[in-house]
Structure 1
């Protein structure tokens, strides 16, 4: 990653407007059709949460705003993306695990299984500092209609939260929330990302 001059980027106005705002985070809600993802999970024996994380990284990699992030009082540009997941560790507490994103699902799945297992067994977080990390939290035991993440003032990373998917007669739906720093992207970029996420779910598993 490297520091960039905000005035030389498309985020110049947003940097000026939102970097010192007391609450610069925005949250969007969307209901995804994950029928296809659930089917792939069952047929291939892949974890549903892993597939959601991969689809998140795949969609984000197509949106250039994800490669920049306000860090402290600076705007940083990254060359790569990672996806974070929260892991229940052996002490029945939670640990954080960053997984490097790869376009190759098999590679991402291997990294996901290896790293989450290591974090679960050691109770130690796995952090990737050289990539722009997208946070996720899956509350799969619970039916939730939405969630708004907190703003710590330290981490400005985009963050997705989802609960248990809802099975219908013909479709399976998943309610998600997406929180982002307004300096990093505008609402139109965030909404476009969520549309791309649905497109990835619908089209990447032929």
Structure 2
């Protein structure tokens, strides 16, 4: 990663407008059709949460704004992204685990299983410092309509939250919330990202 001059990027205006705003975060909600994801998860014995995280990474890798992030008072440019997931550890507490994104699903799956198992056993967070991290939190045991993340003023990373998916006769749907810093991207970029998540789900192949 490296610091970039905001005036030399497409985020110059947003940097000027939103970096010092008291509440620069924006949240969008979208209901995804995860029917295919659920079926493939059950058929191939892969974790639904892992597949969601991969689809999120896949979509983000196609939106250039995800590779820039305001850190402190600087705008940083990254060449890699990673997806964070929350892990229930052996002490029944939660730990944080960053998983490097790979276009290859089998590689991502192997990293996901290895790193989440490591974090669950050691109760120590696994942090990746040289990648732009996309946060996720799956409250899969709860039926919620959405969530708005807290803005700490320290972490500006984009963040997705979802609860239990909802099954009908032929379809399975999942409502996600997506919080992002307005300096990093605009609403149109965020909406396109969520559409790309749906596209990644629809095109997922093994």
Deviations 1:102-129 (CA, angstroms, capped at 9, x unpaired): 0000000000000000000000000001
Structure 1 partner of 2:8 = 8
- Provide the C-alpha distance between the structure 1 equivalents of 2:79 and 2:34, rounded to a whole number of angstroms: 29
Mark the runs of 5 or more structure 1 residues left unpaired by the alignment: none
- Provide the C-alpha distance between the structure 2 equivalents of 1:126 and 1:154, rounded to a whole number of angstroms: 18
Deviations 1:69-107 (CA, angstroms, capped at 9, x unpaired): 000000000000000000000110000000000000000
Give 1:63 deviation, angstroms. Answer: 0.2
Structure 2 partner of 1:86 = 86
What is the aligned-residue RMSD (CA, Å)?
0.5
- Provide the C-alpha distance between the structure 1 equivalents of 2:43 and 2:169, rounded to a whole number of angstroms: 19
Deviations 1:25-49 (CA, angstroms, capped at 9, x unpaired): 0000000000000000000000000
- Provide the C-alpha distance between the structure 2 equivalents of 1:52 and 1:154, rounded to a whole number of angstroms: 26
Structure 2 partner of 1:179 = 179
Structure 1 partner of 2:51 = 51
- Provide the C-alpha distance between the structure 1 equivalents of 2:157 and 2:40, rounded to a whole number of angstroms: 29
Give 1:205 deviation, angstroms. Answer: 1.7
- Provide the C-alpha distance between the structure 1 equivalents of 2:64 and 2:167, rounded to a whole number of angstroms: 34
2:19 paired with 1:19: yes
After the TM superposition, which parts of structure 1 deviate over 4 Å for at least 4 consecutive aligned residues? none
2:42 paired with 1:63: no
Paired residue secondary structure (1:135): strand
Alignment of 1:24-173 (within 5 A): 24-173=24-173
- Provide the C-alpha distance between the structure 1 equivalents of 2:40 and 2:25, rounded to a whole number of angstroms: 33
- Normalising by structure 1, report the TM-score: 0.99
